Amino acid sequence: MEDQTVSNVSEFDFTPYIKYAVDHGTDILVALLIFVVGRWIARIVTRGFVKTMERRKVDPLICGFIRSILFNGLLIAVVIAAVARLGIPTTSFVAVLGAAGLAVGLALQGSLSNFASGILLLMFRPFKVGHFVTAGGDSGFVEEIGLLMTTLRTPDNKTVFVPNSNVLGSNITNNSLKPTRRVDLVFGISYTDDIDKARNILAELLDKNEKVLRDPAPQVAVSELGDSSVNFVCRPWVKGEDYWDVYFGMIEGVKKAFDANNVSIPFPQRDVHLYTEKK
């Protein structure tokens, strides 16, 4: 078996390759030089471009992506130039690359859409890590803004992965962008209760709450004469981090204060009348 392998190798004719190397030795050396120097220049250009973006405080995630795309694109151009120097037609080579790129683009259409949306989110920054947002139909604290999806953590500690195209393609509500928020509460009292008394109770609760801001002043007003209740809107302004403390604290405080002052909170009731037919 070994003798047969040696025989096959010895019978292989290297003459055409040797002749090509001799006839085109200069072209081969120039092509190698083009590749080595071109690759070196591609690295310098890429490094300089990335440093410029870093000085302008572009997001590191974007810098890393552009570094990869720019270097690989320049390297492909260098390879094409080196191949052309060898006398190999590059038209078909470029056509194959274009067709392959088109096929990959069609296959990854959804991913490319998410990728482009991720770049726009990183550039325009409608929210940052740690903000509480409603985006793509889900609400939660932003944990990560990735190239393909945004990661949210819900208040009950679930992790939600939202595709970036869904985030960018729908309304985004950022609850953490402003330092203050308004708490919107509605409380109903019976039609037989004293409106002024109920208003004073609500105003006193707001005044005693240290987390309620004085400027802008909280609002307490009659908003609706409902089917079974007179409804008050209670709208205090608070710091963003105090929102839920004030929200839940006011609901509990109003219930206790209304009970202590004999102010009733109506609830839906149904009267059933029974009629008996005389036979």
| CATH architecture of the domain covering 126-174 | Roll (2.30)
24: tokens are 């085109």
248 confidence band (pLDDT: 50, 70, 90): very high
**Which segments of the chain belong to CATH 1.10.287.1260?**
15-107
pLDDT at 108 over 50: no
CB 250 within 8 A of CB 203: no
pLDDT at 92 over 90: no
H or E element in which residue 225 lies: strand 219-225
Please name the fold of domain 180-260.
Alpha-Beta Plaits (3.30.70)
Please name the fold of domain 15-107.
Helix Hairpins (1.10.287)
pLDDT at 98 (0 to 100): 67
Calpha distance 99→187 (Å, rounded) = 65
CB 117 within 8 A of CB 167: yes
Closest CA relative to residue 222, chosen from 200, 202, 199, 204: 199
Q: What pTM does this model have?
A: 0.57
CB 76 within 8 A of CB 100: no
Q: Among the listed ranges 34-48, 116-130, 158-172, which one has the minimum average pLDDT value? A: 116-130
Task: Report the half-sphere exposure of 237 (CA within 13 A, side-chain side).
Answer: 10
**Which segments of the chain belong to CATH 2.30.30.60?**
126-174
DSSP 8-state secondary structure symbol assigned to residue 89: -
